[in-house]
Amino acid sequence: MKIVVAIKQVPARDSQLRIASSGKWIEDADLTYEINEPDAYALEEGLQLKEKHGGEVVALCAGPARAGSTIREALAKGADRAIHIEEDDLGDPLTAARIMAAAIQAEKPDLVLTGLQSDDLGYGQTGVILAELLGLPHATLIMQVEKVDGGIRVKRELEDGWFQHVEMPLPALLTIQSGISKLRYATLMGIKKAKTKEIKRISSAGLAGAGRQTTEADRLSHCAIERIYLPEHTKHTQMFEGTPKEAAAKLVEKLRFEARVI
């Protein structure tokens, strides 16, 4: 099975975020970056499917040069090769997906995997948009993938503890839910091997049918962020300060005599 896993690099989860003076994005000078967590699970699922059924795992990442560290990590974990679409600003999810679809099409994979959403923009759409652009059947929030006669059978998560099995032919696209299995670490051997693996670097302008020249699409997609800001604190929260012991004592007192919940 030839599997393309689309991964994204995002600011590390614990980052202290400050709004850039442009008001359009965050201050990114001192940020550290990591693989988008749901994408790490998508990669893990791709690697496990390859271990079971053979084939190849190709990591695909669109992003600026710094995303190279995330790509090397994917190779160290076991991806066979990688494609880095060098693009500083991916824009909205449709623009990003158009760029990636062109690269995926050239690979003719059996299965395309990606995380269910990104931890930065959080649209939760790129996978499904890719499926539509590539003309593939898809399913989202996947917790399990099995190969069956004529295709795959997946376990899809629904709300409130419900699940559903869905079957579909290959090629197909799946968005993977976090927690589908335990993530592996890169071994020393893996890190060493990764250095010899191929990373194909392409610019988005070089991809047929993609890139920035699609002005008609840009006009129609109109999903641009006008302004970003820290949420206003609308609720009155009583904060307890002092030493941990003092803060704890005050909290217990309030819960007992003011809120009367204990």
Residues in 10-49 that interact with another protein by CB under 8 A: 11, 13-14, 16-17, 19, 26
Residue from 55, 123, 197, 212 touching another protein (CB under 8 A): that is: 123
Contacts within 8 Å (CB) and 24+ apart, 96-99: 96/62, 96/126, 97/125, 97/126, 97/129, 97/130, 97/133, 98/133, 98/209, 98/210, 98/211, 98/214, 98/217, 99/62, 99/204, 99/207, 99/210, 99/211
Q: Please give the backbone phi and psi of residue 51, each rounded to the nearest 5 degrees, phi first.
A: -65, -35
Nearest distance in Å: CB 69, another protein: 20
179/163 Cα distance (integer angstroms): 15
Q: Does 185 bind another protein (CB under 8 A)?
A: no
Residue from 138, 192, 203, 206 touching another protein (CB under 8 A): that is: 138
Q: Single out the segment in contact with another protein by CB under 8 A; choices: 61-69, 75-83, 188-196, 216-224.
A: 216-224
Burial code of 60-71, b = ≥16 C-beta within 10 A, e = fewer? Answer: bbbbeeebbebb
Nearer to another protein, 8 or 138 (CB): 138
Q: Does 176 bind another protein (CB under 8 A)?
A: no
Residue from 68, 137, 190, 211 touching another protein (CB under 8 A): that is: 137
Q: Single out the segment in contact with another protein by CB under 8 A; choices: 63-71, 76-84, 91-99, 201-209.
A: 91-99
Residue from 46, 119, 145, 207 touching another protein (CB under 8 A): that is: 119
Given a contact cutoff of 8 angstroms between Cβ atoms, the answer to whether 177 and 142 are in contact is yes
**Beta-bridge partner residues of 201:** 84
Q: Single out the segment in contact with another protein by CB under 8 A; choices: 56-64, 103-111, 191-199, 244-252.
A: 244-252
Residue from 27, 32, 169, 213 touching another protein (CB under 8 A): that is: 169
Amino acid at 131: A
98/106 Cα distance (integer angstroms): 13
Q: Single out the segment in contact with another protein by CB under 8 A; choices: 67-75, 76-84, 195-203, 247-255.
A: 247-255
Nearer to another protein, 65 or 259 (CB): 259
Q: Single out the segment in contact with another protein by CB under 8 A; choices: 57-65, 68-76, 105-113, 135-143.
A: 135-143
Q: How many CB atoms lie within 10 A of CB 168?
A: 18
Q: Does 107 bind another protein (CB under 8 A)?
A: no
66/9 Cα distance (integer angstroms): 9
